[in-house]
Amino acid sequence: MQQTMQGQGQQPVMQVPPKVITVKDHSYLKDQLSWLLLAMKKCRHFAQECTDPQIAQAIDRAGQMHQRHYTMLLKHLQTDNVTAMQQVQQQMQQMQQ
């Protein structure tokens, strides 16, 4: 796992995402997906309510950005977490021997 420090007193920044998702990670990701979905829905609603076409278009672009982020996050989450956890456990056992 590659990490770099971003200044003194700060948490290391992970350059490569982990191969497994912890329960805490899962909670954070679930929240993020919910927030992105809500933002996307709000943008769609307010773009339809807006009477100024330029503002409606800007709001719609913001909604599309949230949709892209949502889709990208889902794509990253399409992994077999059970198999990955088993591999991590096997590696840990090998290291202890």
Residue 80: the pLDDT is 67
Output the CA torsion sign for 34, 35, 38, 44: negative
- Domain presence at residue 92: no
Q: What is the pLDDT of residues 14-70, one digit of tens each?
A: 777 677 778 888 889 999 999 999 999 999 999 999 999 999 999 999 999 999 999
What is the share, in percent, of the chain residues with pLDDT greater than 70?
Answer: 84
pLDDT, averaged across the chain: 83
- Domain presence at residue 54: yes
- Domain presence at residue 48: yes
More confident call, 86 vs 42:
42
Task: Indicate the pTM of the whole model.
Answer: 0.64
**Domain span at 43:** 22-78
Q: Which residues of 57-94 are buried (b: 16+ CB within 10 A; e: fewer)?
A: eebbebbeebbebbeeeeeeeeeeeeeeeeeeeeeeee
